[in-house]
Structure 1
Amino acid sequence: MPHITLVRHGQANTEARDEVSYDRLSELGHQQAAWLGEHMQATGDRFQRVYTGAMRRHRETAMGMRAQDHAEIVEDPRLNEFAYFTLSQLMEEQHGLEVPTEREGFVRHLPTVLGAWERGEIEGVPETHAAFAARVRDAMAEIAEGQGRALVVTSGGLIGTVLRQTLALDVNGWARMCLAIQNTSVHRWQMVLSEPLLVQFNMISHLEAPERQFAQTHL
């Protein structure tokens, strides 16, 4: 039975306000990745295939986990995140929606941006929502067709989109899923009769010891 594990990257540059400066792990992000790799090694969690997006934070997380010890890493740009910073800037310029500076503000901001993107109400986007959703669906379908357990290191927005496509969520449900996904969290799917079944969401066992709870981050 094909089995797919998706991992969100470690904490990135939390001070960033654009795509390029965000795309690197913080010191804590490197530590989160190392702890996850150690946890998988200790629990005997092995993979026959490993994939990442083409972003620096994906590669750094996979290397910190020592994912290359499982299998050769295949880099696939279809597993890249959507350009949230760019979408937010365009929304502010075109619709006057200010970009929040605290996590609570993103609870209202994210579904508004995602909904406008999906409806085609933002001009000059680097990628349409339809194109993004299609590349995610295509990449996951190809991974599901492979043999052996697969590990995919990617971003929260992409994992949230896979959840949306699996559970048929509306835009608000999609946004809530994205906001809940923690850094280096683990999410698992099994394919049954060619249909994906979600069997685990947001696992962070490697961060649950009292001395590691400070490392449970969302941004």
Structure 2
Amino acid sequence: MPHITLVRHGQANTEARDEESYDRLSELGHQQAEWLGAHMRDTGDRFARVYTGAMRRHRETAAGMRTQDHAEIVEDARLNEFAYFTLSQLMEEQHGLKVPTEREGFVRHLPTVLGAWERGEIEGVPETHAAFSARIRDVTSEIAAGQGRALVVTSGGLIGTVLRQTLDLDVEGWAKMCLAIQNTSVHRWQMVLDKPLLVQFNMISHLEAPERHHAQTHL
């Protein structure tokens, strides 16, 4: 039975306000990746195939997890995140929606931005919502069609979109899923009768010891 495990990257640069500045792990992000990799090795969680997006934070997370111990890493840009900072800047310029500076603000901001993007209300976007959704469907279908257990290191927005496509979520539900996904969290799907079945969401066993609670991060 095809089995896909998706992992969100470690904590990135939380002070960033643009795509390039955000795209690197913090010191804690590197530690989270190391802890997850060690946990997988300790529990015998092995993979026949390993994939990452083409972003620096994906590669750094995979390296910290030592995913090369499992299989050769396949880098695929279709597993990249959508350009949230860019979308937010365009929303501010075109619709006057201020970019928040605290997590509570993002809870209101994200569904507004995602909804406007989906409806085509933001001009000059680097990628349409339809193109983003299509590339995710294409790449996950290709991975699901392969042989052996697959590990995918990617971003929260992409994992949230796979959840949306699996569970038929509206924009509000999609945004809530994206906001809930923690750094280096683990999410698992099995293909049953050629359809994806979600069997695990937001697993962070490697961060549940009391001395690691500080490492349970969302941003």
TM-score (structure 1 length as normaliser)? 1.00
Q: Report 1:11-160 matches (<5 A).
A: 11-160=11-160
Q: Structure 1: which amino acid aligns with 2:184?
A: T
Give the RMSD, CA atoms, in angstroms.
Answer: 0.2
Segments ≥4 residues shifted beyond 6 Å = none
Residue 219 (structure 2) pairs with residue 216 (structure 1): no
TM-superposed CA distance for 1:155, in Å, is 0.1
Distance in 1 (alpha carbons) for counterparts of 2:44 and 2:152: 17
Query: How many pairs align?
Result: 219
Identify the residue that residue 199 of structure 2 maps to in structure 1: 199
Q: Structure 2: which amino acid aligns with 1:172?
A: E
Q: Structure 2: which amino acid aligns with 1:67?
A: T
- CA displacement 1:24-57 (0-9 Å, x = unmatched): 0000000000000000000000000000000000
- CA displacement 1:46-105 (0-9 Å, x = unmatched): 000000000000000000000010000000000000000000000000000000000000
Identify the residue that residue 184 of structure 1 maps to in structure 2: 184
Distance in 2 (alpha carbons) for counterparts of 1:169 and 1:95: 25
Identity score, percent: 89
SS in 1 for 2:117: helix
- CA displacement 1:96-129 (0-9 Å, x = unmatched): 0000000000000000000000000000000000
Q: Structure 2: which amino acid aligns with 1:127?
A: E
Distance in 2 (alpha carbons) for counterparts of 1:46 and 1:63: 16
Distance in 1 (alpha carbons) for counterparts of 2:68 and 2:17: 31
TM-superposed CA distance for 1:191, in Å, is 0.3
TM-superposed CA distance for 1:138, in Å, is 0.2
TM-superposed CA distance for 1:179, in Å, is 0.1
Q: Structure 2: which amino acid aligns with 1:94?
A: Q
Structure 2 unaligned regions, length at least 5: none
TM-score (structure 2 length as normaliser)? 1.00
Structure 1 unaligned regions, length at least 5: none
SS in 1 for 2:182: coil
Distance in 1 (alpha carbons) for counterparts of 2:48 and 2:25: 26
